[in-house]
Amino acid sequence: MTTQSPAETTPAPSGSVSGPSRFAQKLLTSAQTGRGSLIWVRHGTLAIAAIIVLVIGLSSSSSLRYGLIYSTVYAILILGNNAVQVTLGEINLGSVAFIAFGAYSVMMLANAGVPSGLAVLLGIVLTAIVGFLLAIPTSRLTGLATALVTFALSYSLRDLAIYLSPITGGEAGVFVKGKLEVFGLSGAGADPAMLIITVIAMVIAGVGHIWLLHRRPGRVALTVGEARHAATVFGTPSMWVKLGVWTWSAALGGLAGGIYAYSVGFISATAWTIMFAIFVFVGGLIGGTRSAVGAWVGGILVGGMPIWLQKFVPPTAATLVFGLILVVAILAGGKGIAQFAERYGVRLFLKIRGKR
Amino acid sequence: MNATTVPAAAAPEVTLKATGIDMAFGGVKALDGVSIQLSRGRWTGLIGPNGSGKTTLLNVLSGLYRPSAGTIVLEGADVSGARPRTLSRRGVVRTFQHPQFAEGLSIFDNVLLGADLRRRRGLQTVSKRELEDRAVHLLEVFGCWAFAEHVPSEAPYGGRKLAEIARAVLADPVVLLLDEPAAGLSREERAELVDSLKVIRTESPQLAVCLIEHDVRLVAAACETMQALNFGKVIAVGASEDVLANEDVKQAYLGKSAARHQKEGR
């Protein structure tokens, strides 16, 4: 298990495991599972992450701000993707379909004159419905089959968008009219207001993720994903739980798509590649699949870093450097950077507490 | 082989009655016309050598397998072919030979799955706090409280098996199906199990229990009635001591010649 001080150790009853006190064990298990006692710490770190992103973004150049907005869009998408991965244990490579559907929905609604806030809201609802419908066949699959089906979805998406070019604009793309107006703010592209809106959206999504994972829905979904037979014989409506998780994942994809539509301002079929979906998957692994802040870290790494690296190294070398950074991050992080930080933080806290 | 029926004490109210259950996997008949009766407040041991069909029968009774023939009546209602979800909501709860826990949850959170089922069953409203207190109590009874905050892989194997029973009891079942709860347990854990089962028996006097176990001494200590299976057929049913003394049962466990030697005192 983990580092423990004499002060944290209680005698173990016979036939049980020995180890730290109940309080310490709760913290250690919480850091391990991404649930439990550290819930308020997770809310706190999410708030701190939001403040850091805002301070850096609002005090820097528009290109860096745009990078942060784009990374945060990735982070929202990663958060949705992680829900499927963490609770159901499935590999979802179809996240790009959700963001694309959200982006196209919002673009069409906005260009038809629907107020931007309502367009994003409807985009989320429509994408959630699509996610629910797609989940009906998908959630019957497990393991590699899910990965292959969602891979096929992402792989065919670009061609599908080109085929539907009268609606989607194909490779030539379509501009999104106007600005996103919500929370009394109005922004598009790399506007400071756009960053604030994006960060607020990420915080809302992050709080939702934390709440769902820590409360009963998360517990039930984890049981369905990790102890299928137990869930079945204890009357858990496994299929509905799976549909719920996929729908939540799609809704976050729709939210990411809506913000993408206004921040990029232009939607083209060329954006929806299989690499997009793989980056989302990898971002989740690197950041930490159970952590909201981890999704943000993952989003910044996969969304922003490849672009920023090109400022320092040639574009061809940037890919190599980026790949190396990902390998190092995975080797160092284990379950992801955020969860590694949590575990280390808890051990450090217990060590300091034990010395007092 | 015809089943030998040994008269038992006056039968209490029948909770679950399965009659003429057949179950085949391809060409292999795992259950052949098996009948079993579980009664309110009575503990029934299900014994038999490996491959005799015990766990298959439990899978049928809990709805994981749909039998090819036979009927199952639960508290007067025909539930033949019902899904696990339906059966669990009617109060049929089980454990597994190998503990089924979510690794992403602590043992305590895993045990709360029983509380979820209790809630779904629409039993008398109990607050979340009361259910959690009950979970703590059951984990203490089964000697699992010490590692309740650990993830399953950090808990001892025997402890996980005991925690699984705590989870099942937390659902406040009508019928409890225990699949080899003592398998893999240390001597101390077995003693803990026997004591815990006694507590459960006292606290839930109406519970109908079916206990599968290879440790026949443990079954005899816990159950007043027993049923023995061999090659998917019932070979004996009745009071525990009578079933254990049954020649067919001895032969099934020990082999024909060994059973004869035992009988002859050699």
Q: Where are the strands (E) in chain A, listed by range?
A: 9-10, 19-20, 174-175, 180-182, 185-187, 266-267
Separation between Cα atoms, residue B224 and residue B244, nearest integer Å: 12
B146 touches chain A (CB under 8 A): yes
Q: Do B156 and A226 touch (CB under 8 A)?
A: no
Tokens in use for A238? Answer: 């496994």
Separation between Cα atoms, residue A84 and residue A93, nearest integer Å: 10
Q: Count CA atoms closer than 13 A to A353's CA, side-chain side.
A: 16
Tokens in use for A118? Answer: 């309502």
B84 touches chain A (CB under 8 A): yes
The predicted pLDDT at position A17 comes to: 54
Which of A:280-309 have CB within 8 Å of B?
290
Tell me phi and psi for residue A168, to 5 degrees: -90, -15
Tokens in use for A171? Answer: 């490779």
Distances (CA, A) of A98 to A104, A125, A132, A153, A178: 10, 11, 11, 10, 23
Give the global pTM.
0.87
Which positions in chain A touch B61 (Cβ < 8 Å)? none
CA B24 to mean position of chain CA atoms: 21
Distances (CA, A) of A259 to A113, A171, A172, B171: 17, 20, 20, 45
The predicted pLDDT at position A340 comes to: 87
Least confident of A196-205, A221-230, B114-123, B201-210: B114-123
Separation between Cα atoms, residue B185 and residue B98, nearest integer Å: 12
Which positions in chain B touch A1 (Cβ < 8 Å)? 154
Confidence of residue B111 (pLDDT cuts 50, 70, 90): very high
The predicted pLDDT at position A10 comes to: 37
Which positions in chain B touch A22 (Cβ < 8 Å)? 149
Separation between Cα atoms, residue A290 and residue B104, nearest integer Å: 10
Place of tokens 């989607």: A168
Which positions in chain B touch A35 (Cβ < 8 Å)? 104-105, 109
Place of tokens 């029926």: B5
Q: Tens of pLDDT along chain A (356 residues)?
A: 333 333 333 333 434 455 678 889 999 999 989 888 899 999 999 999 999 999 999 999 998 899 999 999 999 999 999 999 888 988 889 899 999 999 999 999 999 999 999 999 999 999 999 999 999 988 888 878 888 888 888 888 888 999 998 988 888 889 999 999 998 898 898 999 999 999 999 999 999 999 999 999 999 999 999 999 999 999 999 999 999 999 999 999 999 999 999 999 999 999 998 888 988 998 998 888 899 999 999 999 888 777 777 778 887 787 788 788 778 777 765 678 888 899 999 999 999 988 76
Cβ atoms A46, A210 nearer than 8 A: yes
Q: Do B188 and A15 touch (CB under 8 A)?
A: yes
Q: Exposed, middle or buried by CB within 10 Å (0-12, 13-18, 19+), for A305? A: middle
Confidence of residue B258 (pLDDT cuts 50, 70, 90): low
Q: Where are the strands (E) in chain B, listed by range?
A: 4-5, 14-25, 28-39, 43-47, 69-74, 77-78, 92-94, 175-179, 208-212, 225-230, 233-239
Which of A:6-65 have CB within 8 Å of B?
12-17, 19, 22, 25-26, 29, 32-36
Report ipTM (2 d.p.): 0.86
- Per residue in B77-103, pLDDT (tens digit) is 999 989 999 999 999 999 999 999 999
Angle (CA) B193-B247-B41 rounded to 5° is: 40
Higher-pLDDT residue of A52 and B8 is A52
